[in-house]
Amino acid sequence: MTYYSKPNYSKHLHDWLKRGRNWHIEYDDYLSNHITHNWIALDAAGVSQNKMQWWQDVYINNVIDKGATSTAKGSEMLVPPRQNALDYTAITDVNWLYNIQSTRIAFEAYRDFFDKKIAKLGLNTCLKRYYPALS
C-alpha cells in the first residue's frame, strides 16, 4: 500500500516561491504568512497558472472572488522583509547552529544559507547533515 507519492510539481512552482520572498514571513506582530504553502498545495493539485495568480491576488490584496463565500482575513497587513537592528545575517558553516534562537529574526538569512547548501550539496545530503540538529 502506498501512503505517499511525490506530487508532480509544475516547472513554474519555483518562480511562484521566489515571489513569496517579497513579503516577510510574519505579519501583524504574530501571524504567519502562508502564501507559499498554499502555492505548493495548489500546484500539487494541478491548478492553472491563472488560479495561482488568483490565490496571490486574494491573499495579498484581500480581493473577493465573486464565486466564493469567504475572503482572506488580515492579508492586507503583509509587509516587505524586515530589516533588524541586530545583525544576524552572517550565517556560516561555523555559526549556523548557534544562531538557532534567532530564526524568527533571521529567517531570510537562514533561507539563503540553506538555499546555497542545497544547490552545492543536494537536498538529501543537506537533510542528513543539518536536519537532526534542527529537529
d(CA 33, CA 44): 19
CA distance 112 to 107: 9
Cell 505517499, residue located: 4
Helix runs in 8-96, H state only: 13-19, 35-44, 49-61
Mean pLDDT per 10-residue run, the chain (135 residues)?
Answer: 74 88 79 87 92 88 48 58 61 78 71 92 93 87
Neighbouring residues of 77: CB distance < 8 A, sequence distance ≥ 6: 27, 28, 31
Confidence (pTM): 0.56
CA distance 85 to 15: 30
